[in-house]
Amino acid sequence: MKSRKAVVIGVIVVGVVLQADYARAQGSLTPPSAPTPTMKTLDQVEPRIAISTSGYTISQSGSYYLTTNIVTSSSTAGITISTNDVTLDLNGYSILGGDGNGIGIKFSPGMDNVLIQNGVVRDCMYTGIFVLNPTSITHCIFRHLRILNNGRASSSYDGLQAGSQALVEHCQIADNGGDGVVVGADSKVVDNDLIDNGHIGLNVLGTGTYVTHNIVKGNVDNYDLAAGNQLNLLLCEVPETLDWPCSVKFAGTLICTDIITDGITVNADDVTIDMDGHTLIGPGANSQSGIYQEIALRNLRIYNGKVVQWRGVARGGVMACGKNNQLDRIQAATNYYGIYGGHDNTISGCSASYNTDDGIHGGGGNTISGCSASYNMDDGIRGGYGNTISGCLASHNTNDGIYGADGSTISDCVAYYNMDDGIFGSFGSKISDCAAYYNTDDGIYSSSGSTISGCSAYHNTSDGIRGGDGSTISECSAYYNTGDGIKSGSGSIISGCSASKNTEGDGIEVSSGAQVRGNTCDNNGSSGDGAGIHVTGANNRIVANHVTNNDRGIDVDWDSNFIVRNSASGNGTNWTVAAGNVCLVVTATTGGFFSGDSGGSAPGSTDPNANFTF
């Protein structure tokens, strides 16, 4: 074993050695030279150049800023930029045209890549921000500026001339003598207020510019825009003319007091107007139209708003006279025409009420769906030739509730309390699955060559359902109408229908060359003189109908009719048939009570064409 003493001596020796090594590792404590400054200079902290005097020329690229307001003179611009790649921060200060002098900021021609921001340019005699050729500068940015009351000399001097490929955003540009903003091609103008300038609010000289979310109003002319730009315009006032393909959104309710100009004039194809739930209000009786489009134009879309008080003669809330338009969710009230569509338009989800003429008027080839029309002074809904009208409601109109011109299709519609016909289809129309009640004239009327199917007519003052020559009426119901339940002209077919309790006329009436088959007619003529089926001419075929409890069952006024397999019971007079008709009537036999699998009696004749009274 090692002794304790030896261990202690070993530790001491090691400690001495370590101390010696540590001492040898230390450098000199004497500094090699005097200390030097370590703080950054002001230029390093703020690497910008200050401007504090008027007439300053920026001739070297870099970053500049104002340290005070500066005032222009009559002969010198506040600041002149004569080089590329410049940032100018107005730093919250103003460039002022003292006593209305000078130019605020002047560009030399051909400058590129300049940013100007955060300040005011105002009261200059000439242009606020000026370039000799407004499109000769490029890639410049103007943001958070107020450019006010410049161009006091004349309307030739503008607020801002921004050049081409420019960005103008979040600026207020107002009360300048000339244009508010002038930009060239491929620029972007976003979220600015361009108000009360003495010439054009926004002047776009080239193509490819994007415009959106600007408030442009009170200018002598709000817009002058070259073709070929992407335009999302916020409409702040009317009258306004849209001369370019564009998308327009209402900023709020718009009121027009001008009686000689349309509220919005559309002079271009491919225009969209989003009313955004707001109202376009006209000046009343002597107005023009709320929104007007010429007949030669196409592809106009208007939606989601209300038009009122556009009441000039033959004018309207919406007069979309062109082709391929889409009118959607528009309310039109107290206009002359409520909504007037041209050819091949789509009108959907609209309502029209209290208009002086038609509520909704469509030209040829329109599709009208899901609309309502009430209390209009002419037709509620009037479709042109070849229209498709579906899912619509028309009530309390002075003329027809729904009118379809030649070749129209009308389906799933309801018409009530109209002063003329509830639903009218002109030549060659098709009317299906509609209901008409409490109309002052016919419930449903179609001209020659039409088809009426699956419809119901109740309590109309004249006929319930009426078809012209060569019409087909099937699976319909006519109940409690004052005139005839169902009436059709020569060469028609009436089948599978029900006509009941029509008070002063017949259940079914036809003239000549018609087929009447498989119908049920009950209790007609209860307050007057009516037959279940009334034939007023020749060459008709009356087959397999059932007539009960009418004043007269089957009444035939003329000869040469073929009347077979019908049944009549309980009528005041079951059969009134003129001479010269093919008609065998047999009183059916009755049997006693029976129960089980057999019993009863033969009907009284084995002739397959016999008619029966029972």
84 within domain boundaries = yes
Statement: residue 82 has pLDDT above 70: yes
Q: What's the CATH code of the domain at 541?
A: 2.160.20.10
Statement: residue 27 has pLDDT above 80: no
Rounded to whole angstroms, the Cα distance separating 291 from 245 reads 15
Instruction: Choose one of 236, 256, 271: the last residue of a domain.
Output: 236
27 within domain boundaries = no
340 within domain boundaries = no
Tens digits of residue pLDDT in 333-344: 999 999 999 999
Contacts of 9 (CB under 8 A, 6+ apart): none
Does residue 193 sit in helix, strand or coil?
strand
Instruction: Choose one of 168, 201, 236: the last residue of a domain.
Output: 236
Q: In the predicted model, what is the mean pLDDT of residues 50-54?
A: 96
567 within domain boundaries = yes
Rounded to whole angstroms, the Cα distance separating 471 from 426 reads 11
62 within domain boundaries = yes
Instruction: Choose one of 184, 217, 236: the last residue of a domain.
Output: 236
Statement: residue 457 has pLDDT above 80: yes
Provide the residue count of the chain: 614
Say what the pLDDT of residue 37 is.
58
Give the C-alpha distances (Å, rounded to integers) separating 270 from 230, 243, 245, 325, 570: 12, 10, 5, 9, 67
Rg (CA), the chain: 44
Instruction: Find the largest Cα–Cα distance for the chain.
Output: 160
Rounded to whole angstroms, the Cα distance separating 364 from 511 reads 32
Rounded to whole angstroms, the Cα distance separating 479 from 501 reads 6
Q: Which domain holds residue 499?
A: 442-614
Tens digits of residue pLDDT in 164-174: 999 999 999 99
Say what the pLDDT of residue 576 is.
97
| 61-75, 377-391, 545-559: least confident range | 61-75
226 within domain boundaries = yes
486 and 507 in contact (C-beta within 8 Å)?
yes
Domain count of the fold of the chain = 2
Statement: residue 97 has pLDDT above 50: yes
Tens digits of residue pLDDT in 201-228: 999 999 999 999 999 999 999 999 999 9
Statement: residue 13 has pLDDT above 90: no
Statement: residue 536 has pLDDT above 80: yes
38 within domain boundaries = no
Nearest to 291 by CA among 306, 276, 277: 306
- Work out the pLDDT band at 40, boundaries 50, 70, 90: low
Say what the pLDDT of residue 73 is.
81
309 within domain boundaries = no
Tens digits of residue pLDDT in 258-271: 999 999 999 999 99
